[in-house]
Amino acid sequence: MLDLAAGPGEVGFAAASLIEPGGELICSDQSESMVELARARGTALGLTNVTYRVLGGEWIDLELASVDAVLCRWGYMLMVDPAAALRETRRVLRSGGRLALAVWDAAELNPWLTIPLDVLREHGLWVAPPEGSPGPLALSDRQLLRSMLEEAGFAEIELDAVEISRGAPDFDSWWATHLDLSSSTRTAFEAADEVQTEAIEAELAQRLEPYTAAGGALSVPGRTLVAVAEA
Ligand SMILES: C[S@@+](CC[C@H](N)C(=O)[O-])C[C@H]1O[C@@H](n2cnc3c(N)ncnc32)[C@H](O)[C@@H]1O
């Protein structure tokens, strides 16, 4: 089983025990530092059926028909050429192998992502990427996702949506975690000067108030599209 764009490895690690005995997980990411982070986490978890590889989605350095399943949560929409990555995914899957992926749904369903980006845009620190370029919302159109899967040669495509919630005990920890999760938000925020930083955080806390409980805990909704398909 291949976990593509695995980041710190969470999704593949959850599946690793399900493919034992005998099954092996390849935990991969294009970023060497992410792969090293995943390796450290997997080792700490005592996982023994995992190998770690630096692999790019658009050119997967694995043999034709060499894996039974591919997982990719919140990866394809960040890739420069997701159509090529899906064709590569199809190529490395054996016939009848399965792909399971997740990408973010429409902007209005993901305030956890759009509220910070709106505030940063109003401060001149973030510009929405042109349509068709990589970004968290680049594959939020179900039709586009379905047709890319079809064009890559997948069959038995099933699309669904899953509600999620980004929670934290208080604003500061919510924001710190968010900056770790969203590299576009982090890059924009890091360009803020001291005065802007304070203003941005204050505005953000205010706009997140509808999702903040009396004790200060946040629970900000979102929705992810999920797809499974057969090679
Ligand atoms: C939002 S994180 C998701 C990580 C993980 N799948 C998860 O759900 O926790 C996106 C990851 O995609 C990786 N990535 C971006 N472009 C990639 C590409 N072209 N090929 C492989 N990995 C890529 C990034 O390095 C990052 O670790």
- Per residue in 51-71, pLDDT tens? 999 999 999 999 999 999 999
Burial of 136 (0-12, 13-18, 19+ CB in 10 A): buried
Residue 148 lies in a domain: yes
* 79, 110, 139: residue to mutate for ligand 1 pocket, most atoms within 8 A of CB: 79
Residue 107 has which token pair?
């902007």
Atom of ligand 1 nearest to the CA of 85: 19
Q: Would the CB of 3 count as within 6 Å of ligand 1?
A: no
Residue 95 CA to ligand 1 centre (angstroms)? 25
Atom of ligand 1 nearest to the CA of 181: 1
In CATH, what number is assigned to the domain containing residue 165?
A: 3.40.50.150
Domain count, the chain: 1
Rg of the Cα trace of the chain? 19
Give the model confidence (pLDDT) of 140-186 as tens digits. 999 999 999 999 999 999 999 999 999 999 999 999 999 988 888 99
Residue that the structure tokens 């490395």 belong to: 92
Residue 195 lies in a domain: yes
Residue 27 lies in a domain: no
The whole-angstrom separation of Cα 151 and Cα 58 is: 15
Domain around 197:
56-230
Residue 35 lies in a domain: no
pTM for this prediction: 0.94
Angle at 102 between CA 169 and CA 76, to 5 degrees: 115
Residue 199 lies in a domain: yes
